[in-house]
Amino acid sequence: MSTDFYKKILDNNKTWVETNLAKDPEFFSDLAKGQQPPLLWIGCSDSRVPANEIIGAKAGEVFVHRNIANMVINNDMNILSVLDYAVNHLKIKHIIVCGHYGCGGIKAAMGNDSLGFIDNWLRHIKNVYRLHKDKLDAITDETERFNAFVEVNVKEQVYDLAKTSIVQNAWNSGQEVSIHGWVYGINSGYVTDLNVNLSSNDKLDEIYQLQF
Ligand code: CO
């Protein structure tokens, strides 16, 4: 990071504050009272997929978790804590898992090169490939296979969210929580809704359905 860039982002912050205050003098004092975001966003860490910007959301409107390839790992304290807080405290009604075409994590997981420590994270993505190996291996065009893998990975993460005790507990107690899967097109800006929408554990394989 050059010194110029570093100075620029501090200046940008001042401009951002002034712009917001010019539009709404109470902007920050209102935000300071608390948050009630209707949405939890689980997206990729990729710098080209900024959660709020894509959906035109303001500060206070989206609770965000991002990691490499938008994974829902069920022993990841970070995502489980975010999910618990979002569902049980903020009472968020919608959760979106947003993957993106051209995802470097997905691409790396399709290959065999060792990239170091990150191999251990990518292994979770490889597990998704193994689950859908027949379908994915049948796609001969590599770009198409890559895109299909991005999509199928999002769907798996939607299901993995639904499998958590946190989400199933909420459903069991009558709390409305809907989980959706999206893919963002880095080269178009548009989001595609994959139409995988879960609002109960009915669609989970029976082995994952928790009884309370
Ligand atoms: Co990515």
**Which residues partner with 179 through β-bridges?**
95, 198
Catalytic residue among 46, 65, 98, 180: 46
Taking the model in full, what pTM does it have?
0.96
pLDDT digits (tens, 9 = 90+) for 116-127: 999 999 999 999
Residue 126 in tokens: 């490889």
Q: What is the pLDDT of residue 2?
A: 76
Reply yes or no on whether 89 is catalytic.
Answer: no
* Cβ(124)–Cβ(67) below 8 Å: no
* Cβ(167)–Cβ(161) below 8 Å: yes
pLDDT digits (tens, 9 = 90+) for 20-71: 999 999 999 999 999 999 999 999 999 999 999 999 999 999 999 999 999 9
* Cβ(158)–Cβ(198) below 8 Å: yes
Q: How far is the CA of 70 from the centre of ligand 1 (A)?
A: 7
Q: How far is the CA of 81 from the centre of ligand 1 (A)?
A: 22
Q: How far is the CA of 107 from the centre of ligand 1 (A)?
A: 9
Q: How far is the CA of 187 from the centre of ligand 1 (A)?
A: 13
pLDDT digits (tens, 9 = 90+) for 171-203: 999 999 999 999 999 999 999 999 999 999 999
Reply yes or no on whether 48 is catalytic.
Answer: yes
Q: How far apart are CA 17 and CA 12, in angstroms?
A: 9
Q: Which amino acid, one-letter code, is at 200?
A: S
pLDDT digits (tens, 9 = 90+) for 142-156: 999 999 999 999 999
Catalytic residue among 11, 30, 48, 137: 48
**At residue 1, does pLDDT exceed 70?**
no
The residue among 61, 73, 2 whose CA lies nearest residue 27 is 61
Reply yes or no on whether 98 is catalytic.
Answer: no
Q: Where are the alpha helices (DSSP H) in 85-180?
A: 104-110, 119-131, 133-137, 142-163, 165-172
DSSP label at 198?
B
Provide the pairing of β-strand 178-184 with 94-100.
Answer: parallel
Domains of the chain: 1-34 (no CATH), 36-200 (3.40.1050.10)
Q: Where are the alpha helices (DSSP H) in the chain?
A: 3-23, 27-31, 51-54, 77-84, 104-110, 119-131, 133-137, 142-163, 165-172
Q: How far is the CA of 67 from the centre of ligand 1 (A)?
A: 8
